[in-house]
Amino acid sequence: MLAALRQRPFTVQALIVAVAASASLLVGAHIFEAFGYLPCPLCLDQRQAHWVALAVAGAGLGAHFLFRARLAAAAAVGAAAMVYLFSAGLAFFHTGVEFKFWPGPATCSGQASAITDASVLETALVEKPKGPSCIDAQWRFLGISMAGYNLLASAGLFALTLAAAVSAARAAHDARRPGPGRAGAT
C-alpha cells in the first residue's frame, strides 16, 4: 500500500494522508466520547476544524481522481494547510487553557453567565451544564491531553500540506518559465 502511495504526486500523497489522519482523529474522538469522555466546547471546535480539513482534502482528491485536475488538488492542499494551521492554533489555545496559562472562554471554562434577572437565575439552576470544563483535561497519556495530541497532529499535518502546496506552486512556476528549446528562450 505504501508503494502505491509513493507512486502518486506529492500533492496527492499529502491529501491522502490528510483525509486518513483527520478521519482517524475524528473516529478516535467519537470512540473516547462513547467511553464517557464528553467533549468540552473547545474540543467540539477542534473537531469542526478536522471535518473541514477532511472535506477540503476529500474534494481535492475527488477533483484529482475524477477530473485529473492537478490545479484543484494543489489548491485543496493549500487550503487544507490553512485549516490545519487554524486547528493547531485552536489546539494550542486549548492546551494553554488546560495548563491554566490563560483563561478560556466563559462558555467553557466552568464559569457561569451573568445573572441579570430571576428568569436567567431559574434557567441556570434548572439546566444541566452543556459539557465539561475546558480547564480540566479528562484524559492524559505521557502528560499530554487530547488537545495536546491534536496540537501535535495538526502541526504535523500543517507542515505536510504546506510542503505539498509549496512544491505544487514551484512546479507550476517552473512549468511556465521558458527553458532551453521552448518558445521565448534566449
Q: Is 184 inside any structural domain?
A: no
The cell for 83 is 485549516
Task: List, for residues 108-157, the tens digit of each pLDDT value.
Answer: 745 445 556 666 656 655 555 566 788 777 877 898 888 889 999 999 99
Sign of CA dihedral 35, 147, 42, 162: negative
User: Is 121 a member of any domain?
Assistant: yes
Predicted model pTM: 0.80
Tell me, what's the pLDDT at 122? Answer: 65
Tell me which residue range forms the domain holding 30.
8-176
Q: What's the pLDDT at 22?
A: 97
Tell me the CA end-to-end span of the chain in Å, nearest whole number.
Answer: 45
37 in a domain, yes or no?
Answer: yes
> Which residues in the chain come in under a pLDDT of 50?
109, 111-112, 184-186
How far is 96 from 102, CA to CA, in rounded Å? Answer: 6
111 φ/ψ sector (left φ>0, alpha ψ -120 to 50, else beta): beta
86 domain-assigned: yes
Q: Are 77 and 15 in contact (CB under 8 A)?
A: yes
Residue 24 pLDDT: 97
Residue 149 lies in a domain: yes
Residue 146 placed within a domain: yes
Output the domain CATH number for residue 59: 1.20.1550
Predicted local distance difference test score (pLDDT) of residue 185: 45
In a domain, 183, yes or no: no
In a domain, 1, yes or no: no
The count of structural domains within the chain is 1
